[in-house]
């Protein structure tokens, strides 16, 4: 997986190494961190573009993110696309959870799914919530899921 920063700089290290270096640097600077992971997607013609973000929040001092973009040409229903977004986020969260625990950093997984039943994305809410909670992660959906709804949405 190729990751980058918001300014476009590529992250050359393995993801876990880059995250660990970031945690060490931020904690040495005295920042208390929380990590939120989320994904979003856009259908553009025959291609579905996905963005997954790792948002590092500094308590009362802003934040920054790592970004991964990918594409798929597989046709998907809205429900399948929502679950694919969640699966991308859970995969990243699972790969980092032991590292985050070691550095005592809170983790949330955000799903770009509306809690209001009047929205189409709501059809995947129960499955997504069950998937994320079943993996042992803290779950956030819209309007609280800023990592997916705002951060990933800006870079997809």
> Of the candidates 84, 88, 82, 30, which has an alpha carbon nearest to the alpha carbon of residue 54?
88
Rounded to an integer, what distance in angstroms lies between the CA atom of residue 25 and that of residue 28? 5
Domain carrying residue 78? 3-155
Averages of pLDDT over each 10 residues, the chain, 156 residues: 94 97 97 98 96 97 97 94 96 98 97 88 89 95 94 95
Contacts of residue 67, defined as CB under 8 A and 6 or more positions apart, other chains included, come to 3, 4, 5, 6, 51, 52, 53, 155
pTM: 0.94
Q: For residue 114, what pLDDT is reported?
A: 87
Q: For residue 47, what pLDDT is reported?
A: 97
Report the relative pairing of strands 3-5 and 63-72 from DSSP bridges: antiparallel
Per the structure, how many domains does the chain have?
A: 1
* Residue 45: CATH number of its domain: 3.30.420
Q: For residue 10, what pLDDT is reported?
A: 97
């Amino acid at each position: 997986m190729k990751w980058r920063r918001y300014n476009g700089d590529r992250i050359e290290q393995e993801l876990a190494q880059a995250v660990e270096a970031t945690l060490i640097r931020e904690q040495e600077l005295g920042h208390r961190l929380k990590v939120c992971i989320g994904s979003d997607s856009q259908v553009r013609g025959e291609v579905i573009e996905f963005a997954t973000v790792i948002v590092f929040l500094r308590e009362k001092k802003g934040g920054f993110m790592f970004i991964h973009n990918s594409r798929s040409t597989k046709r998907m229903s809205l429900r399948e696309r929502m679950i694919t977004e969640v699966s991308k986020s859970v995969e990243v969260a699972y790969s980092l959870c032991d590292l985050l625990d070691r550095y005592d950093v809170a983790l949330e997984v955000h799903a770009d799914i509306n809690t209001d039943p009047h929205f189409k994305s709501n059809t995947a809410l129960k499955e997504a919530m069950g998937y994320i909670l079943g993996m042992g992660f803290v779950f956030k959906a819209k309007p609280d899921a800023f990592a997916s709804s705002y951060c990933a949405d800006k870079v997809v």
